[in-house]
Amino acid sequence: MLDAFVSAAGYMVGNPMSFLLILFSVIWGIVFGAVPGLTGIVGVALLIPFTFAFDPTEGMLLLGGVYVGSTFGGSIAAILFNTPGSPEAACTSLDGYPMAKRGEAGKALGIALAASAVGGIFGTLVLMFAAPPLARLALEFGPAEYFALAVLGITAIASIGGGSLVKGLIAGLLGLAVALIGLDPLTGTARFTFGNMMLLTGVSFIAAIIGIFALAEVLQRFADGPPKGEQMTQVSTQLPSFAEFMATKATLLRSSVIGTIIGALPGVGATTAAFISYSEAFRWSKKPELFGKGSPEGIAAPESGNNSAVGGSMIPLLALGIPGSATTAVMIGGLTIHGIVPGPMLMQNNSDLVYSVFIGMLLANILMLVFGLRAARLFAVVLRAPYQLVGPAIVVLCMTGVFALNNNVSDVAVMLVFGGVGFFLKSYGLPVASFIIGLVLGPIAEVSLRQGLILADHDIMTLVSRPITGTLLILSAVSLAYGIWGQIRRKPPSDGTPDAQPETS
């Protein structure tokens, strides 16, 4: 292993070109992540034809760099404009935007960037040293375990918005209901599509979150009238101090571990990792009341979670030849075009390639941190521009990006509808966070529950008595009970119905 590592390092040093490639690919990735609608998958897919010109190792370095960059890139737009550039950044909006709105955009971007780098490096190190055992652990996860994992995330909907229990549940269940639209993945029956053919594929998640976050925010800001000049004019580009960042270290570690494991599971990726990291950070936080209002932990958790999932999703790719996420599926296509057969033999037959990718991903994270910290201060300045001009520009960018994603007008229509939904949720104090968690985790929970039941011959006891499933479900039940108890204790029910103020996220 050390030999392979040294020989790969030798290759990298002997090819100064590869450093340039990594730098280019990270920037390319950040752009694709940051433009709303465009995602890392598109960024990787567009680069594949160019990898023909390079040898396979350089090609993989390029794709790995894009993957790393795009996962962070999404958080820039999420923090500055409440516009998640890619699905995995949706969670970062929840606390990043409120913090930027307070005038601390530089701090929010700095935390996001540093957390991304920490998560990314953690995930890559695990990939380097523990890929085979972790791949075996991932194989232990069948449908029953996926279901339990989704339930663990979903139980957070009741408490996460900081408002009333019932409102959290309503918002979360609305998210679950929206996720039902489309073709039933098991039976092929159309559900709640109301005869619309384009809805058969379900509500496009990226279009929905851009509508809920970005459009709803623009509508709100324009309806609220001219800014009183109190908030956005004072934009601090001050980066977080080291001490401020280290205050989130427990969150960083927990989220990185969660992210790596979830990333390693085929079929669920960075988005799920970000949300489960966020709900766990909330659950274990000493200051849960700050969540949704600009909590540093609320930024650090999803960003370290989704970036560590990048390394995690490379685990099944390199150890077994099966993709851990949609982006790695595209990378597999890139490998096969070069005549490399992805599979368990890859690590032995192409160890130079594999170890170069490891080193490349570490470098990509470091470069991202070094250049990103400088860029973050620049980006934060954008907020000084008047919202009268920025608001419409955000709308244009969202529409163009969502359209370009699939060349599909109906995705843009979905985004408009969800702009309305987001506005509605805000107006009635229904927490957006709960809604989105339901939307993300609903399909995983449903499909895996039904697959699990088929495999267990429809016996629910067989399903829940599996060790990992049982543990996760008990954990969910305990934390749900704990959350409800905490809420009852905090707000005695005697004073009627304590309502949350309208959500600002």
Partner 1 sequence: MLYKLSEVVVFAAMTIASVALWFTSDALPVSKRYAQVDSDMWPKMVFGALGICCAIHLAQKVAGLIAAPSGGPRTLDEELEAYVPQGYYTRLIVTGALIIGYFFALQYVGFLLATLVFLWAGSFILPYRNTLAKLLFAPAFTLLLAAFFSYGLSLSLPRGTGIFYDLSQALY
Partner 2 sequence: MRGIALIAAVATTATPALASDYPERTVEIIHQYGPGGGTDRFIRAISEPMQEATGQSFVPISITGGGGVPAFVTFMQRPANGYTLVSLSPDDVINHALGRIDLSNVQPLVRIQYDQGLLLVSKDSDIRSLDDVLAAEAEEPGGLKVGVTGSAGFDDALIGLFNEEAGIELGTVPFGAAEMVSNTLGGHLDMMYEEYGPTRGLIESGDLIPIVLFSDERLEELPNVPTAAELGYDVTLGRWRGFGIRPSTDAAQIDTLVSLFKDAAADEGYKKVEADSALQYRSEFMGPDAFKTFLDKEVETYSTIMNQLGY
Q: How far is CA 175 from the centre of its chain?
A: 17
Binding of partner 2 by 417 (CB under 8 A): no
449 binds, among partner 1, partner 2, none (CB under 5 to 8 A by kind): partner 1
Phi and psi at 496, nearest 5°, equal 75, -135
Integer CA distances (angstroms), 136 to 130, 139, 325, 347, in order: 10, 5, 17, 15
Would you say 135 or 383 has its CB closer to partner 2?
A: 135
Q: How far apart are CA 148 and CA 34, in angstroms?
A: 32
Task: Give the one residue of 339, 467, 492, 493 binding partner 2; rule: CB under 8 A.
Answer: 339
Residue matched to tokens 């960037």: 113
Of 330, 398, 432, 439, which one interacts with partner 2 (CB under 8 A)?
330
Of 137 and 173, which has the nearer Cβ to partner 1? 173
Q: Does 10 bind partner 2 (CB under 8 A)?
A: no
Q: Is 138 in contact with 266 (CB distance < 8 Å)?
A: yes
Under DSSP, the state recorded for 202 is: -
Which three-class secondary structure state does DSSP give residue 195? coil
Residue 193 CB, shortest distance to partner 2, in Å, is: 9
**Residues 15, 238, 400, 451: which binds partner 2 (CB under 8 A)?**
451
Measured between alpha carbons, how far is 95 from 270 in angstroms, rounded to an integer? 18
- Considering the rule CB under 8 A, would residue 200 count as an interface residue with partner 1? no
* Helix and strand numbers, DSSP H then E, in the chain: 22, 2
Between strands 182-183 and 190-191, the pairing is antiparallel
Instruction: Out of 13, 17, 20, 186, point to the residue binding partner 1 (CB under 8 A).
Output: 186
Give the residue from 230, 222, 223 showing the smallest Cα distance to 394: 222
Is 332 exposed, middle or buried, given 0-12, 13-18 or 19+ CB atoms closer than 10 A? middle
Q: Is 46 in the site for partner 1 (CB under 8 A)?
A: yes
Distance CA 465, CA 477 (A): 15
477 lies in the site for partner 1, by CB under 8 A: no
Task: List Cα–Cα distances, 260 to 118, 127, 130, 277, 311, in angstroms.
Answer: 12, 9, 11, 11, 7
- Is 174 one of the binding residues for partner 1 (CB under 8 A)? yes
Q: Which is nearer to partner 1, 138 or 157 (CB)?
A: 157
Report the alpha-carbon distance of residue 110 to residue 420 in Å, rounded: 32
Q: Does the footprint of partner 2 cover residue 87 (CB under 8 A)?
A: no
Given the structure tokens 């390079």, which residue do they identify? 54
Contact residue for partner 2 among 14, 16, 188, 229 (CB under 8 A): 188
Least Cβ distance, residue 373 to partner 1 (angstroms) = 25
Residue 464 in the binding site for partner 2 (CB under 8 A):
no
From the list partner 1, partner 2, none, partner contacted by residue 429 (C-beta under 5 to 8 A by kind): partner 1
* Kind and range of the H or E run holding 182: strand 182-183
String of contacts with partner 1 for each residue 450-469, x by CB under 8 A:
x--xx---x-----------
Residue 224 interacting entry, from partner 1, partner 2, none, C-beta within 5 to 8 Å by type: partner 1
Chain residues in the site for partner 2 (CB under 8 A)? 41, 45, 48-49, 52, 138-143, 182-188, 197-202, 265-267, 316, 320-324, 326, 329-334, 336-337, 339, 341-346, 406-408, 451, 454-455
Chain residues in the site for partner 1 (CB under 8 A)? 38, 42, 46, 166-167, 169-170, 173-174, 176-177, 180, 184, 186-187, 189, 191-192, 215, 218-219, 222-226, 386-389, 391-393, 395-397, 399-400, 403-404, 407, 409, 412-413, 416, 419-420, 428-429, 442, 445-446, 449-450, 453-454, 458, 496-497, 499-502
